[in-house]
Structure 1
Amino acid sequence: MKKRCLLTILLGGCVVMSSLAQITLSGMVINAETGKPVKGASVRLEQTTMGCATNSKGEFLLKNVKDGEYLLRASCLDYSPTTLKVNGSKENVVIKLRSTYINLDQVVVTGTGTHHKLKETPVPIEVISSADIKKAGVTDFQGAMTMLQPSLSFSSNAMGSYLMMNGLSNKYVLILINGKKLTGDTSNNIDLARIDMNNVKRIEILKGAGSALYGSDAIAGVINIITENPKNLLTVTSDTHFEEYGQFTQGISADVTTKKFGSYTSYRRQQADGWQQNALDEDGEATEKSNTSGYYANVVNQKFTFEPTSKLSLYTEGGYYNRLTDRPVAGYDYNLAYKSYNLGVGAKYLLGNASYLNLDVTNDNYETAYKYLVESGDYKIDDKNMVKRQHYYNANLKGVFKHSEGFKSVIGLEYINEALKRPDALVDKNVYTSSVYAQEEIHLLKDLEAIVGLRYVHHETAGNHLTPKVSLMYRLGDFNLRASYSGGFRAPGLDELYYYYMKSGSTITVGNTTLKPEKSHYGSFNIEYVNSRFTASATAYINSIDDMISAKSTLLSAMSAEEKQAIIDQATTVFGAQAVKKLKTYKEYRNLDKAMVKGFETNLNAYLGYGFSLGGGYTFAYARGKDQEGIWSTIERSIRHTGSVTGNWVHSWNAYKLNININGRMQSKRFQQSSGVDESAPGFGLWNLNTRHTFDGFKNFLIEPGLGINNIFNYKDDRPYGVNYATLTPGRTVYVSLLLKFKK
C-alpha cells in the first residue's frame, strides 16, 4: 500500500513538474509609428521550430513552450524585424515593428549556407522579394529576372529560353529551389516554366563561383528561389492574370498550419497563344512558323511538415509538371511535350546555440517528347516519341555548429547520381558524384568577418577536384567593404560524355569519357553604403574559366584516309550504310576553350519621401572566349551594357492602398556571329506600368485587383523570321489581375 501511495505521489509530482515546465507567450504586434496592429506578422522563438502568425488584430499565442530563456523574433514585410528576450510565461507582450523603406534586415542563406541579415552577409547577395515581384506585375520567373535583374538576360530558340548571367551561358548557372537543384533541360535550356511564382518569398542571387558550397555548375552564379510557408491556421489564395494574346495565369494555394503539422498545396496554370514577329522569312517568303509558340503548362506542388518536438522538424514534398506547345500544323510536324515529377524528404534537428543538423534527400525527373501533328514514319497523329529522359538523385547531410559568438562551422556530405536516356543519341547511362565540404565563419574583430571554405569532389569519370572560397567583410561606419575569391567547377554532362548522335545525316557528334571538369577562378570587390533611406553598392569582378568543353568540328575531307574510314565504319555499324552517305563533319567534345569575363555592377535604392521610392542597377560585362585555334572573340549571346530602373509610389486611405510602379530594362546589342557574319540582336528598351489596388478592411480577407500596361512604348523586333531577335514581345499589351486571399 505504501509503495502504491509513493508511486502515485511520484507520478503526480512528475505531472505537476511537467506542467510547470511549460510556458505560454501571448501578446500583439503593432506598428511603432501608428500603434495599429500588424496582421500576418511572423512571430517565432529563435533556435526552435515554434512560431505562428498574428491574426487580424495583431495577436499571437505560443503555448506549451518548454521553460527557458528565448529570443522572441517578430518580422513582417515592409517592417524591420525585432527581437525580445523572454523568460517564463508572459501575457500581453507588445512588440513594436518600425516601418522600413529599404529592407536590409531580411535574412538570406545563399551566400554562406547559414542565416545572415542581408546587410551583414560577408558575401554580396542581391534579393528580389515577393513584394518586388508583385509591384512589377510579372507572373513568371523569366519576366521577373528580365525586368528586375540586369545581370541576367534571356534569348529564345526552338528549345526554350536561353539564360545568360554576366556573359556566361545557362549551363554555368545553378538554379535552386529552397537550396535544391532544379534539373531537366533541353539543349542546356533549363525549363523555367517549372518554377511556381505564386508562393515565392524571395529570390536570392549570388554572382560568381559558388562551387565550394553548392558543387557543380555554380561558375557564373547561383539563383536560389525561397518559397513561403505561411504560419496561419488557414491560408487560401487565388491569383489570376489575363493579358492580350491569350496570356493567362491562374495560381491557387491552400495552406494549413497547426502546432505540429503543416500542409502546403499549390497549383499553377499558365497558357498563351503563339504569335509571329513577322510572317515573312529572310528570303521574303511567307512562313507559318511562329517565333513564340502557343502552349499550356500545369504545376502542382505539395509539402507536408511535422514537428514532433521543439527541436525536430520533418518534411516530405513532391511535385508534378507538364507542358505542351501548340504549334501550327502548316509549319511543324510535331509539338514539344514536357513533363516532370519530383520527390523529397528531409529533417532538421536543432542542437542549441544556433547549431543544427540538416538532411535532404531529393529525386527530380524530367522527360521531353515529340507529340506528332502529322504522320511521320511509324508515328501517327497524336503519337508520342520520348526523346530525352533525365533522373537526378541527391542526398545532402549538413551540420552547422556555432562554437561561440565568433566562430561558426559548416560541414557537409553530398552524394549525387545523374542518369540520362536518349535513344537517338545512343545514351542510357548514369554517373555519380560524391563530395565533402567545410566552411568556417570567423569574426576576427568587432567589424571584421571572414569566411573560408573548401569542397572536395570525386566525379566518376572526371576524377577528383578541390574548390576553395575566401570572403572578407569589414564594416566602416555606414560602409561595408567585401572582398572574395572563389573557385568553381562544372562536371562534364552526360551528353558530353556519352553522346553518339547523327544530325541530318551530315554531322555526327561523339562524347568523350576522358573529359576533365571545367574550372574557374572568380574574384570580386564590393563597396556598399547603407542607411535607413538610401543604399548604394558597386562591385568589380573578374571570372576566368579553363578547360571549357566544346565540340570540335572536323571535316572528314581534312582527315587521313584511315581516320575517315574508321569513323564511317563505326557510323555504318550503328546507323546503316544509307544513313551515312551524306556524312561530312565529325564533332567530338573536348576541353578546348577558355573564357574571361571582366565587369562591374552598380545598384541604387532610395526612399524619396511621401511614398516615393526609386531603384536601379547597371551591369557592364566584357565577356571574351578563346577557341580551339587560340583566337579570342566576344562570347556568343553576351551583352555588354544592361540597366534597369524601378520607380514606385504607394499611399493608403484607411483600408485602401494604391501602388503604382514603373519599371524599365535597357540593354545593348546581344552578340552573335555565324560563319563570320554579324547576326547580333539589336539593343532595346522595355518599360512597364503597373497598378495594384489593395482592399484590406475585411477581418480575414484581402482583395487586390491590378491593372497595367506592358511595353508602354510598343517596341517590337519585327524583322523577318529566322533572325536573332532582340526580344519576342508582341508589342504593347494590357493586363488585368485579381488577387484574393483568405487568412485565419
Structure 2
Amino acid sequence: MKKQNWLFILMGGCVAMSASAQETKQSQDLSVELNPVVVTGTGTHHRLKDTPTPVEVVTANDIKKAGITDFREAMTALVPSLSFSTNSMGDYLMLNGLSNKYVLILINGKKLTGDSSNNIDLNRIDMSNVKRIEVLKGAGSALYGSDAIGGVINIITNQPINDITVTSNTKVEERGQFTQTANADIKTEKFASYTSYQRRQADGWTLTRVDADGEARDKHDANAFYTDNYTQMFQFTPNDKLSMYVEGSYYDRTVKRQPEYLKYNLTYDAYSLGAGAKYNFNKRSYIQFDIKNDNYDTNYLYTNEDGDNKVGDEVRQKRQHYYSGNLKSLFRFTENTRTIFGVEYIQETLDRPSFNVDERAYTWATYAQEEITLFKNLQIQAGLRYVYHETAKSNVTPKLAVMYRLGDFTIRGQYSAGFRAPGLDELYKYSYSQRGTRAGTLSAGNKNLDAEKSNYGSINLEFNKKWLTVGVTGYINELRDMIVARTVKLSEFSEAEQAAFQEIANELYGGNAKLGNIQNYVNNDKALIKGFEVNLNANLGYGFSLGGNYTFADARTKDSETGWHKIERSVRHSGNVNANYAHAWKSYRLNINLNGRVQSKRIHETLKSDEWIDESAPGFGLWNISTRHTFDGLKYFTIEPGVGISNIFDYSDRRPDASHLASLTPGRTFYVSLLLRFKK
C-alpha cells in the first residue's frame, strides 16, 4: 500500500481524536444522517437502527458531498464491500466475493434488466434522481426471489415535495467527461409529476501505448461513449386511501470503439413502462399492485463494411424482455406485528437473431413474512417464499432474523436461504466458433439445469448514539449447484447427441461445420465466502463528520477437477474513509469532502499445466476531494458551484498490455460543477 494512503488514514484518525476531545455540538448543520428510513431489509419501513436485518445506506447527501454523478463511482467510493472489474465493455460488479449475476439491482423495488457482455448496464441509473441507495448483503431471496444470493441493491428515487422544483446540474471534468442533468417536479394536492433527463459522455483513453512485447498499441482501455436517460412519473392521489402512478423511461448509449479500423461500434437501447396502485385500508394496513415491462437491446452500429452490412447499418444482436406483476399486502393485526402476503409473476424473454435463439421462461412465486416485537427490545422476523420456475421447478427459501436491543447496543442475528434460477443464456444459448480448418467449439445451453442454492448467516453488533454509530458484522455464505461452463470433447457424447450438436453447428455456421468440443452449462461448483465488516460514522461537532468502513472477504470456489481456489475477480481487503466539513455564514454554506478508497489485489488466477498462475490486478488507493459553495440568499433560487480533484495522487494502471487492469482511471483530473435550483 502506498505511503500516502496510510498518511490520509492517519490524518483521518487524528481529526477524529482532536474533534472528539472538544465539546460535541449537536446542531442543525450536522452533515451525517445516522438513522434514515430504510425498506430493503424487511420490505417494510423502519428507521435504520430499528431494522432486524442489517442494511448499508448511501444517502443523496453522501453522494452530493462527494461530487459524484456516476453509480459506479458512488459505490466504489462509499461501499467498500462492492468492487468493480472494469474494462472497455462495462463494469463487472462484485459484492463480497460474488459476481453480478448473484446480486439483484432494484429501482424502487423493481428489477433493473439488461446486460452488456454479462456486465449489468449501470449507466441506466440516473444519479440525479436518487434519494438513497440501500445495500442488503447476503441472501434476500425470501423477499426478492431469484438472483439475490449475494445481496440486493435498491435505488430509491425522489418524490416531489414542493409545488414546483426545477433543477439543473452540470459537471465538466478533464478527458471530455461531462454530465448534465435537468429535473422538473410539480406537485398539487392530488397530482404530482417527476421528469428527469441525464446526459453523460467521455472521451476514450489508452493507459499504455505499448504491449508486453514493446510494440505500439492504440487500443482504448476506456472507450469513448455517450448516454441519454429520460424518466417520467405521474402520480394521482384522489383521496387519503387510494394512490396510483404510471412511469416510463428511455435510455440510449453509444460506445465508440478504438482502433478505428474495427468493424462496428456498440449501441444500447432500453425502455420501460410501469404502473401501480396502493389502497390503504387504514393507517396500519394496505394492499399494493405493481406491473413493469422492461426492454433492453444490444446492437452493432457498423463503421466499416462487413459482408452485407453497410456503414451506418444498426443490427440488433440481443433483445431482453422482463415482465413482472406483484400483488403485495401488509396488515397490522396487532400493535406489535406486521404481516406481509404477496404473489408475483415474472416472464423473461431472450432474442438473439444471429444464434437463432428466441426463448422465454416464466416464474410464479408466493411469499409471506411476519414481524413481531416483544418486550420493546426484542424483534423477530420470519419469512418464506415458494417459487415455481418453468425449468428449475419448485424452490423454497426461508428467512429468520432476530434483533435485541440493550441500551445503546443492538445485536442482530440472521439466517436466510437463497436461490438463483438458471438464466436464459444458460438454458438456451447457442453459438459456434471455428478458426480456419481446425475443429470448432459449440456453446450449448442446458434445459435441465437446477437452480443454484445458498445458505447465509450473519451476526451484527452495533453501538448507536445520536452522534456516533459503530458496527461489526461477521458472515458466512455457502453456495451449491453453481452453474458453470464446462468444455467436453465431442467424442464423449453418444452418437445421437453428436448428430444433434452437429445439426445445430451447421445451422449457426451456415455450412458443414467441423466440431471438436462442446461447451455447455452444468451444476458443478460450490462456493464458500467468509468475512467480516467494520463501520463507523460520527458527527464530531463544529461542522466536522467522519466515516469509515473496512471489509474482509475470503471467497473460494470448488469444482470437481481442480478443488478449492479463490473466486475470480474477488477482493479480500477493502476500505474507505470519508471526512467532511460543513459550515454556514448567513446565506453562504461551505462543504469540503475528502474521500478515499483502498483495496488489495483483485484475484485473477489461471490454471496452466496443473499449476495456478497468479495474474491478479494489483491493489490501489484512490483519493478525491470536492468542495461545494451554496448561495441561497434569494427567495426561490439556489446557486451551488463546485470544484474538485479526482484521484489526487495521480494513480493509474499503466502496466504494458495488462490483461487485468486494476482501474481504468486515467490519473488525476480536475472538475467544476454548477447546480441551479428553483423551488416554490
Indicate whether the TM-score tops 0.5: yes
Q: Which amino acid aligns with 1:114?
A: T
Query: Is the aligned partner of 1:698 residue 2:634?
Result: yes
Query: Is the aligned partner of 1:275 residue 2:275?
Result: no
Question: Residues 149 and 454 of structure 2 are in contact (CA less than 8 Å); yes or no, is this contact kept in structure 1?
Answer: yes
Residue 262 of structure 1 aligns with which residue? 192
Q: String of CA shifts for 1:247-279, please: whole Å, max 9, x gaps.
A: 000000011000000111000000000000112
Question: Residues 338 and 366 of structure 1 are in contact (CA less than 8 Å); yes or no, is this contact kept in structure 2?
Answer: yes
- Residue 146 of structure 1 aligns to a residue in which SS? helix
Kindly report structure 1 stretches of 4+ aligned residues shifted beyond 6 Å. Answer: none
Question: Residues 489 and 517 of structure 1 are in contact (CA less than 8 Å); yes or no, is this contact kept in structure 2?
Answer: yes
Separation in 1, partners of 2:386, 2:200: 41
| Alpha-carbon offset, residue 444 of structure 1 | 2.3
Q: String of CA shifts for 1:479-519, please: whole Å, max 9, x gaps.
A: 11000000111000001111111134532111111110000
Separation in 2, partners of 1:560, 1:448: 58
| Alpha-carbon offset, residue 423 of structure 1 | 1.9
Query: Is the aligned partner of 1:514 residue 2:448?
Result: yes
Separation in 1, partners of 2:416, 2:465: 29
Among 531, 534, 551, the residue aligned to 2:468: 534
Change (3 A) 1:331 1:483: farther
Separation in 1, partners of 2:493, 2:118: 33
Residue 315 of structure 2 aligns with which residue? 385
Residue 150 of structure 1 aligns with which residue? 80
- Residue 569 of structure 2 aligns to a residue in which SS? coil
Q: String of CA shifts for 1:68-94, please: whole Å, max 9, x gaps.
A: xxxxxxxxxxx99xxxxxxxxxxxxxx
Among 576, 592, 614, the residue aligned to 1:678: 614
Correspondence list, 1:17-28, <5 A = none
Task: Compare CA radii of gyration and give the structure with the larger one.
Answer: 1
Among 107, 113, 116, the residue aligned to 1:183: 113
Residue 625 of structure 2 aligns with which residue? 689
Question: Residues 426 and 499 of structure 1 are in contact (CA less than 8 Å); yes or no, is this contact kept in structure 2?
Answer: no
| Alpha-carbon offset, residue 302 of structure 1 | 0.4
Among 717, 726, 733, the residue aligned to 2:662: 726
Query: Is the aligned partner of 1:629 residue 2:561?
Result: yes
Separation in 2, partners of 1:495, 1:531: 49
| Alpha-carbon offset, residue 231 of structure 1 | 1.4
- Residue 352 of structure 1 aligns to a residue in which SS? coil
Query: Is the aligned partner of 1:193 residue 2:123?
Result: yes
Separation in 1, partners of 2:210, 2:182: 40
Query: Is the aligned partner of 1:601 residue 2:529?
Result: no
Residue 87 of structure 1 aligns with which residue? none
Among 643, 647, 663, the residue aligned to 1:711: 647
Among 425, 449, 458, the residue aligned to 1:524: 458
| Alpha-carbon offset, residue 712 of structure 1 | 0.2
Separation in 1, partners of 2:214, 2:580: 44
- Residue 497 of structure 1 aligns to a residue in which SS? helix
Separation in 2, partners of 1:725, 1:527: 36
Among 277, 283, 286, the residue aligned to 1:347: 277
| Alpha-carbon offset, residue 101 of structure 1 | 5.6
- Residue 132 of structure 1 aligns to a residue in which SS? helix
In structure 1, stretches of 5+ residues that fail to align are 1-78, 81-96
Query: Is the aligned partner of 1:164 residue 2:94?
Result: yes
Separation in 2, partners of 1:568, 1:442: 55
My pick for the range that moved more, 656-665 or 498-507, is: 498-507
| Alpha-carbon offset, residue 245 of structure 1 | 0.3
Change (3 A) 1:471 1:100: farther
Residue 499 of structure 2 aligns with which residue? 566
Q: String of CA shifts for 1:165-224, please: whole Å, max 9, x gaps.
A: 000000000000000000011232110000000010000010000000001000100000
Among 538, 547, 551, the residue aligned to 1:619: 551
Residue 85 of structure 1 aligns with which residue? none
| Alpha-carbon offset, residue 561 of structure 1 | 8.3
| Alpha-carbon offset, residue 644 of structure 1 | 0.4
Change (3 A) 1:389 1:278: same
Separation in 2, partners of 1:396, 1:442: 24
Residue 516 of structure 2 aligns with which residue? 584
| Alpha-carbon offset, residue 573 of structure 1 | 3.6
Q: CA RMSD, aligned part only?
A: 1.7
Query: Is the aligned partner of 1:451 residue 2:381?
Result: yes
Among 148, 170, 173, the residue aligned to 1:243: 173
| Alpha-carbon offset, residue 577 of structure 1 | 7.4
Question: Residues 367 and 389 of structure 1 are in contact (CA less than 8 Å); yes or no, is this contact kept in structure 2?
Answer: yes
Correspondence list, 1:305-316, <5 A = 305-316=235-246
Separation in 1, partners of 2:153, 2:535: 18
Question: Residues 34 and 537 of structure 2 are in contact (CA less than 8 Å); yes or no, is this contact kept in structure 1?
Answer: no
Q: Which amino acid aligns with 2:618?
A: P
- Residue 214 of structure 2 aligns to a residue in which SS? coil
- Residue 280 of structure 1 aligns to a residue in which SS? coil
Separation in 2, partners of 1:335, 1:483: 49
Change (3 A) 1:335 1:443: same
Separation in 2, partners of 1:571, 1:701: 64
Separation in 2, partners of 1:537, 1:565: 57
Among 661, 664, 678, the residue aligned to 2:593: 661
Separation in 1, partners of 2:362, 2:454: 22
Normalising by structure 2, what TM-score?
0.93
| Alpha-carbon offset, residue 563 of structure 1 | 7.5
Residue 548 of structure 1 aligns with which residue? 482
Among 491, 495, 500, the residue aligned to 2:430: 500
Question: Residues 288 and 331 of structure 1 are in contact (CA less than 8 Å); yes or no, is this contact kept in structure 2?
Answer: no
Residue 437 of structure 1 aligns with which residue? 367
- Residue 403 of structure 1 aligns to a residue in which SS? coil
Q: String of CA shifts for 1:446-465, please: whole Å, max 9, x gaps.
A: 20000000000000111000
Change (3 A) 1:640 1:563: farther
Q: String of CA shifts for 1:332-368, please: whole Å, max 9, x gaps.
A: 2211100000000000111114211111000000000
- Residue 566 of structure 1 aligns to a residue in which SS? helix
| Alpha-carbon offset, residue 528 of structure 1 | 0.4
Q: String of CA shifts for 1:4-57, please: whole Å, max 9, x gaps.
A: xxxxxxxxxxxxxxxxxxxxxxxxxxxxxxxxxxxxxxxxxxxxxxxxxxxxxx
Question: Residues 57 and 135 of structure 2 are in contact (CA less than 8 Å); yes or no, is this contact kept in structure 1?
Answer: yes
Residue 19 of structure 1 aligns with which residue? none
Normalising by structure 1, what TM-score?
0.85
Q: Which amino acid aligns with 1:721?
A: D
Separation in 2, partners of 1:576, 1:131: 54
Among 293, 312, 315, the residue aligned to 2:223: 293
| Alpha-carbon offset, residue 612 of structure 1 | 1.0
Q: Which has the higher contact order (CA 8 A, sep 6+)?
A: 2
| Alpha-carbon offset, residue 331 of structure 1 | 4.9
Residue 11 of structure 2 aligns with which residue? none
Question: Residues 629 and 641 of structure 2 are in contact (CA less than 8 Å); yes or no, is this contact kept in structure 1?
Answer: yes
Question: Residues 289 and 331 of structure 1 are in contact (CA less than 8 Å); yes or no, is this contact kept in structure 2?
Answer: no
- Residue 133 of structure 1 aligns to a residue in which SS? helix
Change (3 A) 1:135 1:579: farther
Q: String of CA shifts for 1:100-138, please: whole Å, max 9, x gaps.
A: 564233211000000101110111111000000011111
| Alpha-carbon offset, residue 571 of structure 1 | 3.9
Separation in 1, partners of 2:129, 2:505: 52
Q: Which amino acid aligns with 2:459?
A: F
Question: Residues 408 and 464 of structure 2 are in contact (CA less than 8 Å); yes or no, is this contact kept in structure 1?
Answer: yes
| Alpha-carbon offset, residue 385 of structure 1 | 1.4
Residue 420 of structure 2 aligns with which residue? 490
Among 145, 155, 164, the residue aligned to 1:234: 164
Change (3 A) 1:579 1:166: farther
- Residue 348 of structure 2 aligns to a residue in which SS? strand
Change (3 A) 1:212 1:220: same
